Structure formats: C-alpha cells, structure tokens
Chains A and B, each alone.
Chain A
C-alpha cells in the first residue's frame, strides 16, 4: 500500500515538473523562431523570469523522491541512462545561467551566446525527457542484476523518438500559451496563433503516440483490466480539445490550464499504465523493476510520506502565491527596471 501511495506521489512530482517547467522549456525552444528583436527576446526571458527556478525544483524533488522511495529504480535509471541524463543536466545548467548572465553585458555577441544556450538548454531536456520516458514505458534492456545492456543509441528507436517529439510539442504549445498569457501586443498575437498552428501537429503526434503505445508497450494492460482508468487518456484528449477551443476564443489563461490538463493526464497515462512496474525489462519481464522490488523500507516510506504530506501542500500554496503576485503581463516598461533580465 505504502509503495502504491509513493508511486502515485512519484507521478504527481513528475507531472508537476512537466506542467510547470514545461512552459519554461517551451518558451526557450520557441525563442529563435518567435522573437524578432532584442526587446522581444527580453520579454520572453522576463515572462518566465520569476518562475523558472522554483519550477526546476520539481525536477530535483522528483529525482530526490525516486532516490528516497525507490533507490533501486533511481540507481538503475540514472546509471542506465547515463549519457542522456548528463546531457539533460548540462542543458539545464546552461539554461539556468543564461537567465542571469545574458543581460549583464551589452555586446550582441555575448547575448547571442546566451540566447543559443537558452535555446539548446530548453530544447534538449524537452526532447530527451520525452525519449527517456517513452523508453521507460517501452522497457529498457535490463539484465537479471538490473544492469543496462544497451547504449545511448538504443534509446533512439522510433517509439522513443516519437515520445521525444510529443514532449517537445506539448511544451511548445504550453510555452506559446504562456507567452500569450504574459505578454501583449504583437508578440502575444504571434505566440497565440503559433500555439493554434502547433496544436494540429501536437494532435497528430499525440494520437500517433497513443496508438503506438498499444504496439510498442504494455501500458494498456492495466486499462483493459480496469476500464475506468480510460478516463485518464480521455482527460488528455479533453484537455487537448479544450486547448484549441480556448485558443480560438483567445482566452489565454483557460487555454494554458487546458494545456496543463493535457500534460498532467499524459504523464498519468504512462504512470498508471506502468504500475506496478517502474522500469520494465525488455529482456525478461521477470527482471523488471517494480515498486515492490525497488522500494525503500516501510519506515523510510512512512517518514518520507509524512514529510511530503506536510511540505508539498505548503510548497503549492507559496508557489501559487508567487504566480498571483507576478500575474501581470510583462511590458516594455518592466524591462526598464534594473532587476529585469
């Protein structure tokens, strides 16, 4: 039971990360295609400025929770996906410093360097997280000892790449909608219409992913067993449809929330499908890491549950407060203040 509760919490942390940092990563990936001037680039940095750091901690916490609650999964996942994870790490490092460093020099070359870092540092994690999770859904070549018997190229199979594409598109739409929420004028218009255009691509890829999951993974077996769970992929579809509806109405906040619903439901579509596996083995199902054979001791799970149940709600409260505090659109006037990026 404790293992199951922790597995759900594990899903919540990842979903929280994808929903929140997802729009930061989307904004960064959009920058070279959307911004037409230094002013617009600065508007984009400052649209995510007060939020990205707090959002990134969801990833740290998701990693930490994996370590604490499922140490064996943490060990196998991080060592098995060594190259992919270090690439994500390097990308997140250069993305983070780009915010702080970019505006500290006037030179266009300096700014171009950090803009490139910002783009690569946003695009790469979006892509690789998708590739990694699709491969986890599909199963990794783990032997009896839990040792990963593949290379980084094993991950680049069609289903893995489709997963990467799905994440990139989800985050692009999410990021474009965030810009529509947080900016005004011409940039907002372009961001909004881009979200509407990318939506079609996302629809195609999302449907392809749902269908491909039927053939490439064992995710659906839980759904056939308990059809009630089909509500989750259904919610993803509802979120997707609502996103388009609200985009057409130019109701940007609602569209962003609908897109959030899509991201969270997509995450849980995978999480529920995995259960009770955490990383299925593609060599032999018997070698799979499950929540039972990879979890911590009951005492640790209990204590960590108490910590999570007390502190995660507090985190949510003060992060919501922050989003309300900085809810206004970012305008040219805001860029005049010394603290602006």
Chain B
C-alpha cells in the first residue's frame, strides 16, 4: 500500500471517529441549555436536575470530541502537506478563524459551566451553557465552510503555483458551505434528540423518574421533529446544489451511467461499475431524477460514462451510502411524527419506547453515511476540479503512516469503548435524586 491510500485510511478513521462525538456536542449543548433556561425562568428544580444529568452525559461525550478534533487539524500538515501548501492561503485561514473565534470560547466556557454552579448566579450560569452551544455551532460553521470550499472552491485565483484568496466574501458566503452547515447541524440536532429520547425511553420503560424523563423526552421530541422536517427540505436543495456543482458525485449517488433527458430514479438497483451499468433496476420512475435535481422532469442529467474514468468517484459506496442515508432520514421523520401523536401517553406506549431505545445508533449511522457521500463522492479530487487527492499527500514513507494508522486504530478503539461504557453507565444510572423537602 502506498502513502496515499494509507493516509486516506488514516484520515477516514480519524474523521469517522471524531464524528461519533461532534453531533451530540452540537445538539446536546442546545438541549441542555434549553433545560437550564426553563429552570431559570420557572424556578422548577426538576429542570435544573435535567440540565445536570444531560450535561454530565454531554461532558463525557465532549472530552473525546475535543481531543479527536486536534487530530484533524494536525493531519492536514502531517499527511496532506502538499494540499496544505497549495490551499493553506484559504483553507488554513478558515481553520485559524474557527479556533480564534469559536473554539476558545467553547473550551473556556465549558469549564466555567462545569465548575461554576456555586460561583455564578443561575442566570449567569445559564448564559455560559448558551455560550458553549453557540460557540460549538459557530465552530461547525467555519469547519463546514472549509469543507464546503473543498467541495466547491470559490473566491480564489491560481497564483505563485497555489490557490490564493481573491475574495474572502465569496468564501464565507459559499452556498455549498452554508448548505453543508445546515445539513450537518440539522442532522446533529436529530441525533441529539434521538439520544435524549432513547435514554429517556430506557427509564420510562422501567417506570423510573417518570416526570423527569417524560419532560426530557418531549423537549427532545419537539426539537428533533422540527429539524427532521427542515432536513427534508434542506436535503432537497442540497441535492440540487450537488447536481449544479458536482455532477460526477450526483451521477454516482444515483448510479446513473448514461446522460439522458427525463432521467429516471429506480426504487431499487444494484450498480455494476465494472460493466458501466446497473445489474438490476426495479421500479423506474422516469423523469424523477431530472425533476429532483433540476426542478424540471425533462432536464438532461449527465451520466457517469461522460466523465473520464479517472474522474469518477467510487460508485457503489457513494450510491449505497446515499440511499441508506435518505432511507434513514425518512424513517426518522416517521418515528418523530408517531412520537408527536404519542407524546401525552408515552409511558403506556411501551412498544414505541422500545423502538426509540434501539433507534439511538441509527442517526449516528446516518451522519457517518452522509460524510461518506460527501467525501468519497468527491473523489478523486481533494478539492473538486482543482487538486487530486493523489497529488496532495506528504512526502512521507508508507511505513511511517502504517505505524501511525495502527496506533490510531488501537488508541481510538480503546478510548471509544471506554467512552461508550461510561456513557451507558451514567445514562442508566439516571439523575441524582431530588433533594428531600424539609418542612
């Protein structure tokens, strides 16, 4: 194996692992902030206990999210130094802005929130968790603007043998980046909602802390429902933007081989990249792909055969990841709408609660699949249309990368297990008992 493939594997390991923790940080910070705000406004102590209980799970998750994020920043330099040199003028400045504007704020105030319960007034303490929530989401925005630029580079000129910034405004208003941001944070909010609902369901099924977990569940349900519906709308706009900016990725997502007007979408198909066609296609709906991609059922959609072979992304992975992600997204909407009707009799709805408990991993899967579509679907480019992944790797030996890849897998595997164990332990333990009233 060469340094390119090993570095790609290492980056995949680092990113997938990092992204097991990021979405819960993005969403659970907001949910915790909502619980604490209700406490401050109503004085209802139960919401304070909610903020503490969900906040503790947030912190266990946060620890790994933070430390694995450093890996990603380091990796651009260690493994992708030619890329860093070529695009640092633009990409580097987005990362540096993220650290200065958002990451400092998040990391400083999470400690203030964690240790500040007795040192700050309830109102001031509540402000700190909102600062954490806002900072982590602003952080996501800058990172996704950086990724959005890799997906659809704008605002640059090629000068001095590299991409140089021509318009900062164009880079920070890149529609692709903003759509990725909306898509990712909505997904993160859905995931966080499912996490809270799943853990609540566990306790409600055992009839423990019924009031506590019913209230937690309902806030999370409303939160996730709103964003799951938004995600459907955004997903459609997002797909159309991919069609406009990354036609090869779109063709791979749909496994469309021949350029055609009234391009169909099949309900079920199996791609066969070797033969440049699909083995099976069931339930073809003519014109649907054209309609979804270009809002016109007669529009021409470019097929994979019209891209040079060395500019096509891996079709099977991109196609499957996309299909599964969309399927899961629809399932989430159905589960959440069902929850909305059951919201006033949750405790009696034990079948629904059991489903929601076992549904916790599904949004995790959906988000990782989404990143698979975004990143694998962008191949062979590291910056779409501008630089190939194979030209981006550092001048390092495969041996070095091989060793570090194994080290990453071992360390991350171990830490992932520990974190999962602790999350499960503290989730099952439930909240601290309410202080006994002394009259």
Interface residues of A (CB under 8 A from B): 49-51, 53-54, 56-57, 59-61, 63-65, 67-69, 71-72, 74-79, 82-83, 85-86, 89-90, 92-94, 96-97, 99-101, 104, 145, 147-148, 296-297, 299-300, 303-304, 307-308, 311-312, 315, 318-319, 322, 325-326, 337-339
Contacts and interface: CB of A to CB of B under 8 A. Distances in A.
A50 B115 contact: yes
Nearest to A148: B395
A122 to B, nearest CB: 14
Contacts of B93: 68, 296, 300, 303-304
Contacts of B418: 97, 101
A100 B60 contact: yes
Nearest to A72: B85
Interface of B: 52, 59-60, 62-64, 66-68, 70-71, 73-74, 76-79, 81-82, 84-85, 87-93, 95-101, 103-105, 107-112, 114-120, 159-160, 162, 164-166, 168, 394-396, 400, 404, 407, 411, 415, 418-419, 422, 425-426, 432
20 contacts: A49-B111, A53-B66, A60-B99, A64-B100, A71-B85, A71-B87, A71-B162, A74-B88, A75-B88, A78-B76, A79-B78, A79-B79, A82-B396, A96-B67, A97-B67, A97-B419, A101-B63, A307-B101, A311-B104, A339-B117
* Secondary structure dominating the interface of A: helix
B96 A79 contact: no
Contacts of A65: 96
B97 A304 contact: yes
Contacts of A325: 112, 116, 119-120
A96 B110 CA distance: 14
Nearest 8 A/B pairs, CB to CB: A71-B88, A78-B77, A67-B92, A64-B96, A75-B81, A100-B63, A79-B394, A68-B96
B114 A57 contact: no
Contact of B82 (A75, A315, A337): A75
Contacts of A315: 100, 104-105, 108
B108 A311 contact: no
Nearest to B55: A339
B168 A303 contact: yes
B73 A100 contact: no
A54 B115 contact: no
A61 B104 contact: yes
Nearest to A315: B104
Given A53-B107, A64-B98, A72-B85, A89 B92 contact: no
B165 A96 contact: no
B74 A71 contact: no
A74 B419 CA distance: 32
Contacts of B109: 318
A319 B108 contact: yes
B85 A75 contact: yes
A316 to B, nearest CB: 10
A170 B39 CA distance: 46
Contacts of A100: 59-60, 62-63
Given A63-B74, A76-B81, A296 B110 contact: no
Contact of B110 (A53, A97, A299): A53
Contact of A92 (B67, B77, B99, B108): B67
A94 B160 CA distance: 41
Contact of A57 (B59, B104, B117): B104
Contact of B103 (A60, A101, A296, A308): A60
Contacts of A60: 70, 73, 99, 103
Contact of A97 (B100, B105, B415): B415
Given A53-B107, A325-B112, A97 B64 contact: yes
A6 to B, nearest CB: 11
Residue from B97, B159, B411 having most chain A Cβ neighbours under 10 A = B97
A311 B419 CA distance: 33
A57 B67 CA distance: 11
A257 to B, nearest CB: 21
B56 to A, nearest CB: 8
Given A71-B84, A300-B89, A307 B114 contact: no
Contact of B164 (A299, A308, A339): A299
Contacts of B120: 325
A215 B77 CA distance: 31
A50 B114 CA distance: 8
A78 B104 contact: no
B125 to A, nearest CB: 11
Residue from B84, B98, B118 having most chain A Cβ neighbours under 10 A = B84
Contacts of B432: 338
A82 B364 CA distance: 31
A307 B8 CA distance: 32
Nearest to B62: A100
Contacts of A75: 77, 81-82, 84-85, 88, 394
Nearest to A58: B104
Given A53-B110, A100-B60, A64 B99 contact: yes
Contacts of A64: 73, 92, 95-96, 98-100
Contacts of A82: 78, 394, 396, 400, 404
B76 A93 contact: no
A101 B111 contact: no
A69 B325 CA distance: 38
Contact of B111 (A51, A63, A77, A89): A51
B307 to A, nearest CB: 30
Contacts of B105: 315, 318
Contacts of B70: 56, 59-60, 89, 92-93
B419 to A, nearest CB: 8
B71 A89 contact: yes
Contact of B115 (A56, A61, A307, A339): A339
